Structure 1
Amino acid sequence: MKYALVTGGSRGIGRAVSVKLARMGYHIIINYASNATEAEKTLELVQQAGQDGEMLKFDVSNHQQTREAIESWESAHPEEYIEVLVNNAGIRRDNIMAFMPEEDWRRVLNITLDGFYNVTQPLLQPMLVHKFGRIINMASVSGLKGMPGQTNYSAAKGGIIAATKALAQEVARKNVTVNAVAPGFIRTDMVEGLDEEALKKTIPANRFGTPEEVAELVGFLVSPDAGYITGNVISINGGLYT
């Protein structure tokens, strides 16, 4: 049995990635923080894709909660390990910096950056012991370009990009790859409230992307064909910014 953990797997890109990895033969561990109904829908889609899965509730920004959930899973699977990790959990709390509440700054960074540490660190050693692992971090065009009104989100995603490049160098000799995917505007809950018609005019492809297109890229990076790709940030943005 091959196991993959997708954080924030209940909706959007996380759901599409879960289904894609299921089609690749992985047993999917669907992390969610609160919306069990949507996580169950993802699980149903995973099962329809021909694989089984399970739901694992924890807030990635909470170190103790995350560690307890992972340790509980490991205790129930003493002979197994999670060989694929997709750090997808994230939120937006947009505002110009001059009016940004401290809570909005901290919450965005905590989920993305603390979440990266809290989930990745305990899963890393088993990957190194087994000499195989795939870690995919969900970044953003905001982390590459910077976006006005998203200083917190840009800081979080820029940090994930830097962490990706550093960790990749630490673990490459053990056949563990670490890459980041940087989506542009993808039609998910994360772009609710944005003016799609106006924004499409700024995108050379003249449309928003789909979660399934992002999932295809993640699937490739997980595959054996991508074993020599590590420490990279791959944009998927319709030509918006590279």
Structure 2
Amino acid sequence: MTLTGKRALVTGASGALGTAIARRLARDGATVLLHASSRPEAVEALAEAVRADGGTAECHVFDLRSDEATAAGCAAMLAGGPVQIVVNNAGVHDDAVMPGMRPDQWHKVIDVSLNGFFRVTQPLLLPMMRTRWGRILNISSVAS
């Protein structure tokens, strides 16, 4: 499949799963927009690797738990054009099995995995629809 001319956001690109997804999208020709909320050095290194392989990559560091930070991050991405692929891959590793989970851990999981999906996808959706081509993938696993 060729994704030349498409822009693809991968949230949680600093982790192993996000890195693999981003590298594949770049290999298929997409410009990859690499998101991280922490470990900006990881997405910078990934962007360099993508570029070394002949791809195009941008880094975007913002906290999905913040309405304001996510809105600013999405505006920065949209300044480069519409995003046609959104891979919601960000996840929290500070959680626990439910019987031992504290309320603050639960709220953090929901805020990143569910509210973060809304915060990042909603502002990108209409510009995506205007291109008449788009894909939204939501990943939920122990590793994302």
Secondary structure of 1:85's match? Answer: strand
Match of 1:5 in 2: 9
How many aligned residue pairs are there?
139
Q: Which runs of 5+ in 1 are unaligned?
A: 141-184, 192-242
Secondary structure of 1:29's match? Answer: strand
Which of 32, 36, 39 aligns to 2:40? It is 36
Match of 2:87 in 1: 86
Match of 2:97 in 1: 95
Displacement of 1:118 in angstroms is 0.4
Displacement of 1:7 in angstroms is 0.3
Displacement of 1:10 in angstroms is 1.2
Displacement of 1:139 in angstroms is 2.1
Secondary structure of 2:84's match? Answer: strand
Match of 2:58 in 1: 54
Displacement of 1:100 in angstroms is 2.0
Match of 1:208 in 2: none
Match of 1:27 in 2: 31
Displacement of 1:111 in angstroms is 0.3
Provide Cα deviations, 1:105-140, integer angstroms capped at 9, x if missing partner.
100111000011001101111121221101111023
Of all paired residues, the percent bearing the same amino acid is 34
Provide Cα deviations, 1:57-76, integer angstroms capped at 9, x if missing partner.
111121111011111332x3
Aligned letter for 1:26? A
Please tell me whether the aligned partners of residues 8 and 14 of structure 1 are also in contact (alpha carbons under 8 angstroms).
Answer: yes
Q: C-alpha separation between the residues in 2 aligned to 1:64 and 1:57?
A: 13
Q: Which runs of 5+ in 2 are unaligned?
A: none
Q: C-alpha separation between the residues in 1 aligned to 2:18 and 2:88?
A: 9
Provide Cα deviations, 1:10-44, integer angstroms capped at 9, x if missing partner.
12100001100000101111001120111112112
TM-score normalised by structure 1 residue count: 0.54
Q: C-alpha separation between the residues in 2 aligned to 1:9 and 1:28?
A: 10
Question: Higher relative contact order by CA 8 Å / sep ≥ 6: 1 or 2?
Answer: 2
Q: C-alpha separation between the residues in 1 aligned to 2:6 and 2:105?
A: 37
Displacement of 1:48 in angstroms is 2.8
Q: C-alpha separation between the residues in 1 aligned to 2:54 and 2:11?
A: 21
Q: C-alpha separation between the residues in 1 aligned to 2:19 and 2:111?
A: 22
Which of 62, 67, 71 aligns to 1:67? It is 71
Q: C-alpha separation between the residues in 1 aligned to 2:101 and 2:85?
A: 35
Displacement of 1:89 in angstroms is 0.2
**Structure 1 ranges of 4+ moved more than 2 A:** none
Secondary structure of 1:108's match? Answer: helix
Q: Are residue 110 (structure 1) and residue 111 (structure 2) matched?
A: yes
Secondary structure of 1:82's match? Answer: coil
Q: C-alpha separation between the residues in 2 aligned to 1:52 and 1:62?
A: 27
Provide Cα deviations, 1:46-100, integer angstroms capped at 9, x if missing partner.
11332121100111121111011111332x32xx211011000001311342x32
Q: C-alpha separation between the residues in 2 aligned to 1:117 and 1:13?
A: 21
Cα RMSD of the aligned pairs, angstroms, is 1.7
